[in-house]
Amino acid sequence: MNNLKVSFIVVCKNAETYINRCIDSIVNLNIENYEIIIVDGNSSDQTLEKIAHEPITLILQQKGIGIGNARNEGLKAASGSIICFLDTDDYYIKETFLEMLNNLCSSDTLMALGAYLNKSLEQPLIAYEAYTPGGFIFKREIFEIIGLFREDFEVASDHEWFIRLIRSKNLFQMFPSVLLMKEMHVSSLSAVKKDIYRREMMQLFKTK
């Protein structure tokens, strides 16, 4: 596998419950050349204390507002040729990640590779196409082609970005395995800010 540097961008706020599992999920991939960048949205719990002994490369205190701004701040600080986003309450399936990384690095044409996710509360588990940043592995160049995340959307910026990606055609493929285990809980961003999420999604639906 091409030994390109992989940047993992982890956006967090009050994530003390799950953040160590998230970081362990990255470390356990056993990638030689990588960095972990934490973008903290001014956590008021023990999040930063929990990761004090984790192999974190850089911790940024978010200057702006919203998940799109946080992802952009992490992306601008990242030095890797491969970009990965992982939410603090989610974690990777190791074998799928490594196979996807190898396939993406070996391709001259693909700019991103997506996969499937399972939701933690569902039994039996159902595989969903993971059109969420944690469900994809990106080459850095794709953000020059598609652009950054829109910062005027506080919650739905991920959805808006993926609409642009899907419309771009031919830049990505879906990998037929589960990459991401997504933790579902009442403090998820879309649940906590459900009114904002609903309003922003309606705005997206009205966009041609």
Closest CA to 125 of 188, 177, 194: 177
The C-alpha atoms of residue 49 and residue 32 are separated, in whole angstroms, by: 26
Please give the single-letter amino acid code of residue 10.
Answer: V
- CA separation (Å) from 126 to 64, 95, 180? 35, 19, 12
In a domain, 1, yes or no: no
CATH of the domain at 16: 3.90.550.10
Sign of the Cα torsion 7, 113, 96, 98 reads negative
Determine if the peptide bond prior to 55 is cis (ω within 30°): no
pLDDT classification of 187: cutoffs 50, 70, 90:
low
Q: Is there a contact between 3 and 107 (Cβ–Cβ < 8 Å)?
A: no
In a domain, 147, yes or no: yes
In a domain, 16, yes or no: yes
The C-alpha atoms of residue 16 and residue 3 are separated, in whole angstroms, by: 32
DSSP label of 134: G
The C-alpha atoms of residue 88 and residue 37 are separated, in whole angstroms, by: 12
More confident residue, 170 or 34: 34
More confident residue, 189 or 170: 170
In a domain, 101, yes or no: yes
Q: Give the chain's mean pLDDT.
A: 90
Residue 191 pLDDT > 70: no
Alpha carbons within 13 angstroms on the beta-carbon side of residue 93 total: 20
Q: Which pTM was predicted?
A: 0.90
Tokens representing 75 are: 């992306």
pLDDT in tens, 113-172: 999 999 987 788 899 999 999 999 999 999 999 999 999 988 889 999 999 999 987 899
pLDDT at 2: 56
In a domain, 125, yes or no: yes
Among 94-108, 127-141, 191-205, which is the least confidently predicted range? Answer: 191-205
Owning domain of residue 178: 6-205
The DSSP secondary structure of 146-204, one letter per residue, reads S----SS-SSTHHHHHHHHHHHH-SSEEEEEEEEEEEP--TTSHHHHTHHHHHHHHHHH
In a domain, 161, yes or no: yes
Residue 70 pLDDT > 90: yes
Query: Domain tally for the chain?
Result: 1
Residue 194 pLDDT > 70: no
Tokens representing 93 are: 């399936």
